C-alpha cells in the first residue's frame, strides 16, 4: 500500500487512495471487473439500494447533453437482500471498502436499510442518498430541507456503528445549512454533489426527451458548480468531504482535492471510459511525483 495516497474519511475508514466510484455509474462492481482491478480503487460505492427491488422509471431515461447527460433512471436496483446474497460475495474478495448507497421512501426505510448494513459483514458503511431528483418519494424531498435531512441521518446513525456518508444535493439554496444539520446528526463524511435537475425537449415531437420529463444532469458540465460547493462547504465545516461531479481526469480530481475534498468519486466518466477511475488515480500519482508532494494531505484544501 502506498501510504502517501492514504486518506481517512472518518470513523476510522482508511482508503488506500482517494479515488472511489460514484453510485449508479459502476453497477455493483462486477460489471467493471474486466476493465478495472477493483483492488486498486480507494472505495467502491454501489448502485443505490432500496429495501425492495425497484424497476425505476420507464424509458427513455437517458439523454446526452453538451458536456454531460441527463438521467432519470429512478433508482432501479435489485434491493438490499439480493445485493447481500448475490452481489456482495463477489465484492468481498477484494481489499477495497464497499459502501452501499441507500435510498428510502420514508425514515423507517432508511433506518431498516442501515440496520441491514450494520448486520452484514463485508460492508464498510453507507452512503445515504437524500439527493436523488428522479424519484417521487424520499430522495431530494429529504435533502432539500435541513430538518428532514437531519432526521434521516439521525435515523440511520441510530442503527449503525459503521461509516455514514451523506450525499448532498446541489438543488438547494444553501448547501452549508443542510451539510451542517447532517453533520450534527452524526454523519462521518459528506459526498457532494448529486446531479442537478434538468430537462431537454425534442423540438420535432414537441415532447420532453425523458419519459420522466426531468432528469439529473451529470458530467463535465457540472464540474465548476461541484468544485465551488465543495470549497464553500469545506471552508465552513470540519467534516471530511468526498467530491463528485464531472471528474474525467486527474486534473479534475486534483481541483476537488485542492478545493477541500479528502477523496473523490468518478461517475459519468465510467460510462464512456470504463478505466476512468484508474486513469484518474495514475494521474494523481504522477502529479504528486512531479510536484514533489510527499503526502496527499499536503494538497487537501490547499486552494487559497
Contact positions vs ligand FMN (CB under 6 A): 22-25, 47-48, 71, 73, 75, 101, 129, 132, 167, 194-195, 218-219, 222, 244-247, 267-268
Cell for 215?
432528469
Q: Which residue is nearest to ligand FMN (CB)?
A: 24
107 CB-near residues (< 8 Å, 6+ apart) = 151, 152, 155
Which CB atom, from 57 or from 71, has the smaller least distance to ligand FMN?
A: 71
Which CB atom, from 4 or from 106, has the smaller least distance to ligand FMN?
A: 106
Locate all alpha helices (DSSP H) within 36-105, ordered by sequence: 80-82, 88-91
CB 36, min distance to ligand FMN, A: 16
CB 287, min distance to ligand FMN, A: 19
CB 300, min distance to ligand FMN, A: 19
Which CB atom, from 150 or from 167, has the smaller least distance to ligand FMN?
A: 167
Half-sphere exposure of 112 (CA within 13 A, CB side): 14
CB 167, min distance to ligand FMN, A: 5
Which CB atom, from 73 or from 288, has the smaller least distance to ligand FMN?
A: 73
Beta strands in the chain (DSSP E): 7-8, 14-15, 19-21, 44-45, 62-65, 68-71, 98-102, 125-129, 163-167, 189-192, 196-199, 201-202, 207-208, 214-218, 241-244, 263-266
Q: Choosing from 132, 206, 207, 244, which is the catalytic residue?
A: 132
Q: Which of 89, 169, 149 is nearest to 123 (CA)?
A: 89
- Active site (annotated) includes residue 206: no
How far CA 56 is from CA of 49, 51, 78, 211, 285, in Å, comes to 11, 14, 10, 12, 38
CB 1, min distance to ligand FMN, A: 26
Contact 182, 158 (CB under 8 A): no
Which CB atom, from 31 or from 291, has the smaller least distance to ligand FMN?
A: 31
Catalytic residues: 132
Amino acid at each position: 500500500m502506498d501510504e502517501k495516497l492514504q486518506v481517512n474519511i472518518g470513523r476510522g475508514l482508511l482508503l488506500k487512495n482517494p479515488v472511489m466510484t460514484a453510485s449508479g455509474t459502476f453497477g455493483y462492481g462486477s460489471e467493471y471487473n474486466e476493465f478495472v482491478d477493483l483492488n486498486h480503487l480507494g472505495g467502491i460505492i454501489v448502485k443505490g439500494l432500496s429495501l425492495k427491488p425497484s424497476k425505476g422509471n420507464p424509458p427513455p431515461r437517458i439523454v446526452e447533453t453538451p458536456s454531460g447527460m441527463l438521467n432519470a433512471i429512478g433508482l432501479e436496483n435489485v434491493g438490499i437482500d439480493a445485493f447481500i446474497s448475490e452481489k456482495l460475495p463477489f465484492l468481498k474478495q477484494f481489499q477495497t471498502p464497499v459502501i452501499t448507497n441507500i435510498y428510502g421512501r420514508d425514515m423507517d426505510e432508511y433506518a431498516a436499510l442501515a440496520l441491514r448494513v450494520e448486520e452484514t459483514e463485508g460492508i464498510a458503511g453507507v452512503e445515504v442518498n437524500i439527493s436523488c431528483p428522479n424519484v417521487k418519494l424520499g430522495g431530494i424531498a429529504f435533502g432539500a430541507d435541513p430538518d428532514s435531512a437531519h432526521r434521516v441521518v439521525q435515523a440511520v446513525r441510530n442503527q449503525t456503528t459503521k461509516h455514514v456518508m451523506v450525499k448532498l444535493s446541489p438543488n438547494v439554496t444553501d448547501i452549508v445549512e443542510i451539510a451542517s444539520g447532517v453533520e450534527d446528526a452524526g454523519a462521518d463524511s459528506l459526498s457532494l454533489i448529486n446531479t442537478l435537475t434538468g430537462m431537454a425537449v425534442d423540438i420535432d415531437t414537441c415532447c420532453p426527451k425523458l419519459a420522466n420529463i426531468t432528469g439529473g444532469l451529470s458530467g463535465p458540465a457540472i464540474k465548476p458548480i461541484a468544485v465551488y460547493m465543495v470549497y464553500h462547504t469545506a471552508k465552513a465545516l470540519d467534516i471530511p468531504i468526498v467530491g463528485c461531479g464531472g471528474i474525467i481526469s486527474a486534473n479534475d480530481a486534483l481541483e476537488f482535492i485542492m478545493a477541500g475534498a479528502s477523496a473523490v468519486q468518478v461517475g459519468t466518466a465510467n460510462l464512456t471510459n470504463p478505466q476512468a477511475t484508474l486513469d484518474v488515480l495514475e494521474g494523481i500519482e504522477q502529479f504528486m511525483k512531479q510536484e514533489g508532494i510527499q503526502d496527499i494531505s499536503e494538497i487537501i484544501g490547499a486552494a487559497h
